[in-house]
């Protein structure tokens, strides 16, 4: 066995011996969770991964060539109003590099910035459970065979996890750390209709309920600042995430990229983006009512600058993170300060 594969097996063994819930999120009655005891204001992904794997782990993004039912006409055409999904249409899905080559190249890029030997293969663009189960199994297994991959993260829609897909994910999770991320976006059906999502929130509730107890972690993506949503409605989504008892969340402000319906609405003055201070205030309010156990994977958006229209402040992610830290400090507050368990 090579030292790399021995290392991978050791990391996998260590990570599968522990309960899937991150030990850093737990505390004996009356004790602070580990992240708070360490002086953090919220439970970050970096900390959660270190607690689980005992070392730095980064996500390496993979495009497996999947399309999306909101693009190919199965659910809708045109896709979500904020998503530049032209490249996801079946007719434009060009042959990609192999999964292994993408991982190798991604690792090379990441290693220029981070000292890291272990990676989660992150199936990111489009809908990564939207294919026959045999094809899903093939691409997931190719990623897991890579000697530096210690687990998978899979981004998908909550209406694309039939029972056969969930059975496959459950099977993979027996021996591999697995994180499944559902595009929830909001709990409000009116907003889901606005974005042409093609499903309502009951579908998310159902997907979470059918995913529960299968050995993988369940995450959600949420957008703040959707047109027509009030501050109080955004906080309702935070309470709903607590009620759903999710393991992780990615949050970002609504932003505009070229070639989207949202870009057209903004050009006509029909949609307004949040200002930075408004986002920071809302985000801190949002995190204050999340459970302290949920991992906050992201608080800013990710769009290549050449696709990006606005708001321009969102491109400076470290400034946003600093502003969020400062606001927590100013309030002397933290994740879960105002969390109340709901049934
Ligand atoms: S955001 Fe996701 S669900 Fe919506 S069109 Fe894009 S890939 Fe499909």
Q: Does residue 116 have a pLDDT over 50? A: yes
Following DSSP, what letter does each residue of 104-119 receive, concatenated? HHHHHHHHHH----EE
What rounded mean pLDDT belongs to the chain? 90
Tokens of 262: 């949202």
- CA 63 – CA 52 distance, rounded (Å): 26
- The tokens for 267 are 């050009």
Q: How far apart are the first and last CA of the chain?
A: 49
Any ligand 1 atom below 6 A from CB of 88: yes
> Which of 65, 66, 70, 77 has most ligand 1 atoms within 8 Å of its beta carbon, as the pocket-test mutant?
70
Task: Read off the pLDDT of each residue in 310-331 and give the average, rounded to a whole number.
Answer: 96
Strand locations in 40-163 (E): 57-62, 118-123, 149-156
pLDDT bin (cut points 50, 70, 90) of residue 196 is very high
> Average of pLDDT values for 214-223?
98
Q: Which residue has the higher pLDDT, 20 or 232?
A: 232
Q: What are the φ/ψ torsions at residue 94 (nearest 5 degrees)?
A: -80, 155
Burial of 277 (0-12, 13-18, 19+ CB in 10 A): exposed
Residue 18: predicted pLDDT? 34
Q: What is the spatial distance between Cα 194 and Cα 210, in angstroms, rounded to a whole number?
A: 27
The rounded distance, in Å, linking the Cα atoms of 213 and 202 is 19
Atom of ligand 1 nearest to the CA of 125: 7
Q: For residues 52 and 102, give the distance between their C-alpha atoms in angstroms, rounded to a whole number.
A: 25
What is the SS3 assignment for 281?
A: helix
**Tokens representing residue 73 in the block:** 């006409």
Phi then psi for residue 210, to 5 deg, are -75, -20
Cα-based torsion angle of the residue sequence 136, 137, 142, 148 in order, rounded to the nearest 10 degrees: 100
Percent of all residues in the chain with a pLDDT value above 70, rounded to a whole number: 88
What pLDDT was estimated at residue 245? Answer: 97
What is the sign, positive or negative, of the torsion defined by CA atoms of 277, 315, 328, 342? positive
* Domains defined for the chain, CATH in brackets: 3-19+40-331 (3.20.20.70)
Q: Is the CB of 129 under 6 A from ligand 1?
A: no
Please tell me the predicted confidence (pLDDT) of residue 20: 39
> What ligand 1 atom has the least distance to the C-alpha of 157?
3
Query: Which structure tokens are listed for 327?
Result: 């606001």
172 contacts 217 by C-beta, under 8 angstroms? no
Residue 252 neighbours by CB under 8 Å, 6+ apart: 223, 224, 298, 299, 300, 301, 302, 314
User: CB within 8 A of 305, min separation 6: which ones?
Assistant: 315
Reply yes or no on whether the pLDDT at 281 is more than 50. yes
Residue to substitute in 76, 93, 127 for testing ligand 1 pocket (most ligand atoms within 8 angstroms of CB):
127
Indicate which residue's Cα is closest to atom 7 of ligand 1.
126
- If one residue of 88, 161, 184 were mutated to test the ligand 1 pocket, choosing by the most ligand atoms within 8 A of its CB, it would be 88
CA 126 to ligand 1 center in whole angstroms:
6
Pocket of ligand 1 contains residue 150 by CB under 6 Å:
no
Centroid of ligand 1 to alpha carbon of 43 (angstroms): 27
207 in contact with ligand 1, CB cutoff 6 A: no
**Does any ligand 1 atom lie closer than 6 A to the CB of residue 155?**
no
């Amino acid at each position: 066995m090579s030292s790399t594969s021995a290392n991978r097996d050791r990391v996998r063994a260590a990570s599968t011996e522990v309960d899937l819930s991150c030990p850093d999120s737990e505390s004996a009655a009356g004790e602070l969770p580990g992240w708070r005891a360490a002086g953090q204001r919220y439970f970050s992904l970096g900390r959660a991964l270190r607690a689980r794997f005992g070392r730095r782990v980064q996500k390496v993004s993979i495009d497996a060539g999947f399309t999306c039912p909101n693009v190919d006409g199965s659910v809708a055409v045109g896709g979500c109003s904020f998503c530049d999904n032209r490249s996801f249409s079946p007719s434009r899905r060009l042959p990609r590099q192999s999964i292994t080559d993408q991982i190798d190249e991604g690792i090379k890029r990441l290693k220029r910035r981070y000292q890291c030997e272990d990676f989660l293969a992150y199936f990111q663009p489009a809908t990564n459970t939207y294919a026959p189960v045999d094809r899903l199994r093939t691409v997931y297994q190719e990623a897991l065979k890579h000697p530096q991959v210690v687990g998978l993260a899979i981004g998908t829609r909550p209406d694309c996890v039939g029972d056969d897909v969930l059975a496959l994910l459950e099977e993979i999770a027996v021996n591999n750390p697995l994180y499944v991320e559902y595009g929830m976006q909001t709990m409000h059906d009116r907003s889901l209709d606005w974005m042409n999502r093609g499903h309502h929130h009951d579908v998310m509730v159902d997907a979470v309920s059918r995913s529960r107890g299968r050995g993988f972690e369940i995450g959600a993506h949420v957008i703040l600042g959707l047109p027509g949503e009030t501050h109080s409605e955004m906080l309702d989504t935070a309470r709903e995430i607590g009620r759903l008892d999710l393991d992780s969340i990615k949050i970002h402000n609504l932003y505009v990229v070229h070639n989207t319906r949202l870009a057209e609405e903004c050009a006509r003055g029909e949609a307004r983006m949040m200002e930075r201070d408004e986002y920071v205030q809302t985000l801190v309010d949002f995190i204050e009512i999340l459970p302290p156990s949920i991992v906050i994977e992201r608080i800013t958006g990710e769009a290549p600058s050449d696709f990006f229209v606005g708001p321009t402040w969102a491109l400076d992610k470290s400034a946003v993170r600093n502003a969020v830290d400062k606001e927590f400090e100013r309030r002397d507050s933290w994740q879960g300060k105002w969390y109340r368990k709901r049934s």
